Structure 1
Amino acid sequence: MSPPADSYLAIPPGDHCLSGNLHTGATRGKVETIEEAPTYITSPHPGKGNGNILFYYPDVHGFYNNAMLLMDAFADAGYTVFGIDYFRDDPVWKHRKDKDDKTTDPGFDHAAWRGKHASFARATVPKWTKTIAETYGKETTKYCCVGYCFGAPYVLDSLTAEGFIFAGAFAHPGALTDEQFQNLAKPLLLSCAENDHAFPPEKRQKAQRILQEGGKKYQFQLFQGVGHGFAVRCNLDDAYERYVKEQSYRGIVEWFNFWLSQ
């Protein structure tokens, strides 16, 4: 059973996640099924790899061009990237094109859709990451993970003391609890929007207090003037929005580069 809505530090994904822009461009990865989940796999260019693996937990739109282009960008930074489609070809955009769309799927129950896929994700992500590590990892391989919106809780769940993932990051998160921050055992970067209904200032500040009081290793990025979805679904024709998206990406890459080099 999910916690009551008022107990979340970042509220679960909802209609606020449907805004944003679609990005164009050619992607280079392939999709295979791992632990019953479609998995996008994309690799560094020849001779450019760092030997490490990055797990990508997508937002409610799942596998769409924005996400695949971003995964390719992390591969450009040297990581072999594995992205999980815990929606199994049932992303939110098949039901709602935007927050005002009531015609694509008139009977769409957003909460039920979210609950079904969150249940699958909670059960699958741990064994999915382990299978990938056992199949593709080497003795020297190190692991990191990044999540956007819907994917943020699985970042925190991956960074407990029992986990093998070295460091994590998330942007504009959803469905986070106090307990997940309290259980954090590995370095975490939080890439946040000033105007985020899902993770407003008072909740963000509470999360920071938990991290401070627990002596956790963390870093905040806080970007002025942007909202939920800025790191994946920004308007690339707006120079500032493009800059913020790129800064979020660069900060996450540098965070992983540092911690995985330790």
Structure 2
Amino acid sequence: MSESKNYLAKPIDLCCLSGTLHEGEPRGKLETISDIETYIATPKADTANGNIVLYFPDVWGLFNNGKLIMDCFADAGYLTLGLDYFRGDDVTKHRDENNQPHSGFDFAAWANANLKSALEFTPGWIEAVKEKYGKENTKYACTGYCFGGPFVCNALGNGAVSVGAFGHPAFLEEHHFANLKGPLFLSCSETDFTFGPENRRKAEEVMTRDKKTYQFQLFSGVNHGFALRCNLDDPYEKYVKEQSFIGIIGWFDFWLSKK
């Protein structure tokens, strides 16, 4: 991927084609919002907290793992909505059974084109979600993985949400951290080609300098993609994925109780 920008969380790369598909039957529904296919996970009436989580997918889009994660946010009481900003053309459509890219597939061009278009229409999608599902006292959080990182920071930067979190992010520059207006939870792996130790420290320096509210959660022994595409047959990988989710939920619950 191009390194022309001064990224703190670098662009995605071919290793994002790999991962493990998790078993389970998603319980949500698909609906078109602002002309974008959207997965909606609804909490049970007796556990609903009245708040909404916006979910920004990784390059695999609205695949099974992502839907199951959104169902878990719903189980925690949040109405959860995730958009298909790839419009059916997620990266899994461009790889073979060995997780290798199809011949002639230009991953950088695909990623850059989708990032550009998604940055343009996602704010409108957020507003449409709020208009349709928000109420006077609704509070908003957002979470994103990999490709979803800048969407989390943008939503926190423009005040669209009160609190945010991401796992193993990509495509983040200094301004994403400098412009934060709400608390950010960073779920990270010790070894990550996009967001390694040096750049994590730089991001921390920016947030400390500008007096942002943040929390780092750092796991050893796992790699980029750990929070969404890990191997659940490995007990430690499963534990880390679960702890990442628990940390994010705890962050949302605490800060939305204060807003």
TM above 0.5: yes
| Contact 1:8 1:177 (8 Å CA) reproduced | yes
CA shift, 1:178, in A, is 0.6
Which residues in structure 2 correspond to 1:22-171 (within 5 Å)? 22-97=21-96, 101-102=100-101, 105-160=102-157, 162-171=158-167
Distance in 1 between the 2:98 and 2:211 partners? 39
| 1:174 aligned partner, one-letter code | A
SS in 2 for 1:226: coil
Of the three residues 190, 199, 204, the one matched with 1:208 is 204
1:44-99 CA-to-partner distances (Å, cap 9, x unmatched) read 12311000000000000001111000000110000000001000000101102478
Aligned pair count reads 258
Give yes or no for contact 2:2–2:11 (8 Å, CA) kept in 1: no
Q: Does the 8 Å contact 1:194/1:223 carry over to 2?
A: yes
Q: What's the TM-score once normalised by structure 2's chain length?
A: 0.96
What is the identity, as a one-letter code, of the residue corresponding to 1:253?
I
Q: Do the aligned partners of 2:11 and 2:194 also contact (CA within 8 Å) in 1?
A: yes
Following TM superposition, by how much is the alpha carbon of 1:246 offset from its aligned partner in structure 2, in angstroms?
Answer: 0.2
Identity across matched positions, percent: 52
Does 190-199 or 123-132 show the bigger shift?
A: 123-132
Which of 187, 193, 206 pairs up with 2:189? 193
When the two chains are superposed, the root-mean-square deviation of aligned CA atoms in Å is 1.5
Q: Match of 1:20?
A: 19
Task: Supply the AA of the counterpart residue of 1:238.
Answer: D
Q: Shift of the alpha carbon at 1:16?
A: 2.2
CA distance in structure 1 between the aligned counterparts of 2:125 and 2:160, rounded to whole angstroms: 13
What secondary structure does 1:113 align onto?
A: helix
In structure 2, C-alpha distance between the alignment counterparts of 1:134 and 1:186, rounded to whole Å: 21
In structure 2, do the counterparts of structure 1 residues 46 and 100 end up closer, same or farther at CA, with 3 Å as the change threshold? closer
CA distance in 1, matches of 2:143, 2:10: 18
36-45 vs 4-13, which deviates more? 4-13
Structure 1 residues without counterparts, runs of 5 or longer: none
Q: CA deviation at 1:26?
A: 0.7
- Is the 2:149–2:169 Cα contact (8 Å) retained in structure 1? yes
- Deviation per residue, 1:173-208 (Å, 9 max, x gap): 000001111111110000000110111100011000
- CA shift, 1:115, in A, is 1.4
For the pair 1:247 / 2:243, whether they are aligned, the reply is yes
The alignment partner of 1:247 has SS state of helix
Counterpart of 2:221 in 1: which secondary structure?
strand
Letter in 2 for 1:125: T
